[in-house]
Amino acid sequence: MKRSLLIAFVVIAVMLLIGIIAVSRLNLGAIAEPSRAEVYFATAAKHLLVRVASRAENVSPSAGNQGSIAGADKLYGAANLTTTEVQSYSDRELFGSQKMGFD
């Protein structure tokens, strides 16, 4: 009886010690540093994604494409600065239109 009680006490003490060590090793901080494995996998994934994205064909509109030129004011909200209407604006009007956008 005494022997089984002693064994149970030792087992409980060892389990309690393992639990205390495990809890003390937990990092509950908001800014935990990533492990070497996490850094390795993140860097490898980033390199793979950049490699795949760099092989994709980037189609940019050519400078002479009238559809691209006409759609630029809708896309970017910019006015064609070479038109006579815009050339007739005063400096104050140009500044205001740049700040607030053209009508």
pTM above 0.75, yes or no: no
Q: Which two tokens stand for residue 18?
A: 């393992």
Q: Which two tokens stand for residue 38?
A: 């996490």
Q: What percent of the chain has pLDDT over 90?
A: 21
54/85 Cα distance (integer angstroms): 42
**CA 102 from centroid of its chain's CA atoms:** 33
**pLDDT tens digits for 47-94?**
888 888 777 766 555 555 555 555 655 556 566 777 787 778 777 777
For residue 67, which amino acid is it?
G
The alpha carbon dihedral of 6, 7, 12, 16 has a sign of positive
pLDDT of residue 10: 93
pLDDT of residue 86: 75
Asked whether the beta carbons of 63 and 57 are under 8 A apart, the reply is: no
